[in-house]
Amino acid sequence: MADATFWQEAQVIFGNRISKKRTDCETHGQSETWFPLTPPEAVVFPETTEEVAALTKICAAHRVPLVGWGAGTSLEGHALAVAGGIVVDFSRMNRVLEVRAEDRLVRVQPGITREALNADLRATGLFFPVDPGANASLGGMAATRASGTTTVRYGSMRDNVAGLSVVLADGRVIRTGSGAAKSASGYDLTALMLGSEGTLGLITELTLRLHGQPEAVSSAVCAFERFEAAVETVQHVIQLGIEVARIEFVDEEIARIFNKMNGTALPETPHLMIEFHGSDAGVAEASERFGEVVAEMGGADFQWATTTEERNRLWKMRHGAYSACIASRPGCMGLVTDVCVPISRLAEAVAQARALIAAAGLTGPILGHVGDGNFHAILLLDRENPAELATAKTVAHDLAAMALAMGGTITGEHGIGLGKRAMMAEEHGQAWAVMGAIKAALDPLNILNPGKLVPQDGEMP
């Protein structure tokens, strides 16, 4: 618990940009999913790296936990202050600092959202590709090593962050990475910070890699009678090296929800949603090769989204799938799984997931970034029925165990947060203890997002 001296010192830095109001604390104690309300002791709204560093110093002196907050769109409770302390809301640090079009780089503050960033970049002919479903902040996306629909072509945050400014647990500020395309200079601290979920430092600036807006873009939806055929199509496409920019699977239940919530008239069967980027000739060539695979696999004719508006509508619908699922069943909450398996095991994994969900008697539509071998079951749960949540947790655990048995990972893109920490030893073995040793070295007082990601006392031998 922070004492009076701490509050005085914090107020000197932040004035009225530090709040202990119940509404502020509750807003920053919510999650998008099933975690209980966990309000912090206070919320601060910094405007500069220096303010974050100054805050971290007094937090270290008073042993007060610090938890970063971007857009609050985590599905795993990453930003919940489970050990109390201060939530650092980066919404006022949301500027584009420098566009370096010649180097395809942009320097931004962590609070900017991906949609705001791309709106800002539109006139440059460049864009930032990583697109989790929600309109997340770039700081949060970096902290969780996020990815999205275009990762199959452009990579995840791991591939698209050139460098960071990070406030460490003792208030020192470091810069990682460089403006060069590559470097062999020392430990890759950029990569270490990406996915560290606020446990090693607070990201206060990012240099991101941009890509040229493609000359030609072509999107389509394609229906399949059976989910196996849809998913096997994806396996073939990836194994043949056909260049897709997006290749998304949605099952028959999601198609039904899209029709209900968005007024579409999709056949209520499994679908693939695809997009090609490139030159006119390149897109034509890839579409043709893709079409051949679909025909072999018995898919229906494509429905092309020919105008930009149609295309935007398509991907907006896809990105809104989680909200649509939740809204489709009033009073429900979601538990979303996020396994990622080697592409050769994808069809088998989706089949097992469907079987597990059905056997548990749950409703759990499935969709995913299947080109990466990554898919989600959105388990729709009655808020008033704790037994359903318990069943869902068991299904999520079994799915994660299945992914590990297939040589995959428990989380393709949502991260660990509170929801998957219990599976870390199973995925990483002694490597989890190594993560704990790194955490202890860089945050010996355990003030940065305590209770998350790494082993807690007694959890590892």
List the interface residues with a second copy, window 322-351 (CB under 8 A): 338, 340-344
CB 147 within 8 A of CB 157: yes
Q: Print the binding letters for residues 384-413 with a second copy: x by CB under 8 A, - otherwise.
A: -------------------x--xxxxxxxx
Residue 241, interface with a second copy (CB under 8 A)?
yes
Name every residue whose Cβ is closer than 8 Å to that of residue 232 and which is 6 or more positions away in sequence. Answer: 297, 347
Question: Where on the phi/psi map is residue 77: left (φ > 0), alpha (ψ -120 to 50), or beta?
Answer: left
Interface stretch with a second copy, choices 36-44, 50-58, 176-184, 300-308 (CB under 8 A): 176-184
Looking only at the bridges linking them, the beta strands covering 211-212 and 271-278 are unpaired
Rounded least distance, CB 397 to a second copy, Å: 14
Q: How far is 184 from 187, CA to CA, in rounded Å?
A: 8
Rounded least distance, CB 369 to a second copy, Å: 9
Among residues 31, 33, 49, 144, the one that binds a second copy under rule CB under 8 A: 144
SS3 label, residue 79: coil
Among residues 28, 145, 271, 319, the one that binds a second copy under rule CB under 8 A: 145
Name every residue whose Cβ is closer than 8 Å to that of residue 316 and which is 6 or more positions away in sequence. Answer: none
Tell me the CB-side half-sphere exposure of residue 177, using CA atoms within 13 A: 25
- CA separation (Å) from 338 to 195, 232, 413? 15, 19, 7
Rounded least distance, CB 184 to a second copy, Å: 4
Among residues 41, 50, 285, 398, the one that binds a second copy under rule CB under 8 A: 285
Q: How far is 306 from 220, CA to CA, in rounded Å?
A: 8
Residue 153, interface with a second copy (CB under 8 A)?
no
Q: Print the binding letters for residues 53-92 with a second copy: x by CB under 8 A, - otherwise.
A: ----------------------------------------
Residue 442, interface with a second copy (CB under 8 A)?
yes
Distance of CA 91 to the CA centre of its chain: 18
Rounded least distance, CB 18 to a second copy, Å: 27
Residue 97, interface with a second copy (CB under 8 A)?
no
Among residues 281, 351, 355, 390, the one that binds a second copy under rule CB under 8 A: 281
Among residues 21, 172, 226, 260, the one that binds a second copy under rule CB under 8 A: 172
Segment 187-206, which members bind a second copy (CB under 8 A)?
187-189, 191-192, 194-196, 200
Question: Where on the phi/psi map is residue 11: left (φ > 0), alpha (ψ -120 to 50), or beta?
Answer: alpha
Residue 78 exposed, middle or buried by CB count within 10 Å (0-12, 13-18, 19+) = buried
Among residues 94, 269, 363, 374, the one that binds a second copy under rule CB under 8 A: 374
Rounded least distance, CB 434 to a second copy, Å: 6
Q: Print the binding letters for residues 206-225 with a second copy: x by CB under 8 A, - otherwise.
A: -----xx-------------
Q: How far is 80 from 68, CA to CA, in rounded Å?
A: 9
Interface stretch with a second copy, choices 25-33, 146-154, 220-228, 350-358 (CB under 8 A): 146-154
Q: Concatenated DSSP letters for 244-284?
A: -SEEEEE-HHHHHHHHHHH-----SS-EEEEEEEE-HHHHH
CB 222 within 8 A of CB 300: yes
Interface stretch with a second copy, choices 57-65, 265-273, 304-312, 367-375 (CB under 8 A): 367-375
Residue 441, interface with a second copy (CB under 8 A)?
yes
Among residues 57, 116, 428, 445, the one that binds a second copy under rule CB under 8 A: 428
Interface stretch with a second copy, choices 26-34, 60-68, 149-157, 319-327 (CB under 8 A): 149-157
Based on CB atoms, which residue is closest to a second copy, 279 or 308? 279
Segment 251-280, which members bind a second copy (CB under 8 A)?
279
Q: How far is 273 from 227, CA to CA, in rounded Å?
A: 13
Interface stretch with a second copy, choices 63-71, 186-194, 249-257, 290-298 (CB under 8 A): 186-194
SS3 label, residue 232: helix
Q: How many Cβ atoms sit within 10 Å of the Cβ of residue 187?
A: 8
Based on CB atoms, which residue is closest to a second copy, 202 or 362? 202
CB 380 within 8 A of CB 335: no
Interface stretch with a second copy, choices 28-36, 65-73, 245-253, 366-374 (CB under 8 A): 366-374
